[in-house]
Structure formats: C-alpha cells, structure tokens
Amino acid sequence: MDGPVNSMSWEALAARVGTEIGISDWITVSQPMVDAFADVTGDRYFLHIDPQRAAALSFGGTIAHGLLTLSLLATMGYQVCPYVEGARHPLNYGFNRVRFVAPVPVGSRVRGRFLLRSAEILGPTQRQVLYDVTVEIEGAGKPALVAEWLTRYVM
C-alpha cells in the first residue's frame, strides 16, 4: 500500500476527536515475516527465530518481536487514518507511550484499532493528531500493544 486510502478536511477530522476512526484488516504474523525482521534488525534472539527451542518455553513456540508488531502500525494506519486534505505530507512524529501487553505467537493475526484522542493546530503550517492505538490479537483476551501515536501534517 502506498499511503492513506481516504482523505478529509482538517475540520472534519478535528470534529471526530474522541471517536474511533476505524479498525484495520487482519495481518497474519508468519515465521518468514519474523525471520526477515530478525535479519534486518539483527535481533536474532531464539524466542523469535527458533521454533524448536521456543517450544520449550511458556509461549509454546516463537513469538513476534514487539518492535515488529509496532512497525505494523504503518500498514494499519494507512488503511484507517485519513489523509488531511491540503496537507503537503504527514510525518510520523513518534509515540508518547508504547506498552507491549501480550506476546504475539507466530501464526496469529493482528489488527489495529484507532481512536482519535486529539487534533491540534500548532501554527499556520502544522497540525498534529494523537491516536490511541490498540493492536489486537485475534481470539486473545489481551492486546499485543497499546500506544499513543503522534502524526504531524505540514500544510
């Protein structure tokens, strides 16, 4: 996916503060995905890449890197979060808070749930939104992660 699939005016987006913006599609976290992330980042801890050794632990098998799960927010956000009309481009401004609540077993499906917490005008050329994001694991009682994610728009 190249970017956000929908757009709306700043005023329309700001009017949605306090509401759920949407829920992304499910993404299957596969062992090849986890292995590729391990190769790219150099984080080759056995719990992520060695199914036989990981099976002996309480998780019963390999789990996704927390940072892999966090990085999937980009794809999820493109599906759900609107592009602000008139903006030159959005910028990932970072996170106020990220918590990895539950492990994501390899083979699980995850999706993102986005609630717009705030929309601020920072100046004549900048806007900022704050999303409360929850990454859910299909069939699990706890989410994989919760985060406060900031995006800035250059107008």
- What pLDDT sits at residue 1? 47
Q: Are strands 109-123 and 20-23 parallel, antiparallel or unpaired?
A: antiparallel
As a residue count, the chain comes to 155
User: Residue 85, class by beta-carbon neighbours within 10 Å (0-12 exposed, 13-18 middle, 19+ buried)?
Assistant: middle
Q: What's the confidence (pLDDT) of residue 4?
A: 58
Determine whether domain 7-28+65-154 maps to CATH 3.10.129.10. yes
pTM: 0.94
Q: Hey, where are the domains in the chain? A: 7-28+65-154
- Looking at residue 2, its pLDDT comes to 55
Task: Pinpoint the alpha helices (H) of the chain.
Answer: 10-14, 31-41, 46-49, 51-55, 66-71, 73-80
3-state helix, strand, coil in the chain (%, to 5): 25, 40, 35
pLDDT at 112: 98
> Three-state DSSP class for 21?
strand
pLDDT in the model for residue 5: 65
For tokens 């949407």, the residue is 22
Q: What is the mean pLDDT of each run of 10 residues along the chain (155 residues)?
A: 75 98 98 98 98 95 98 96 93 97 98 98 97 98 98 96
Residue written as tokens 């986890």? 34
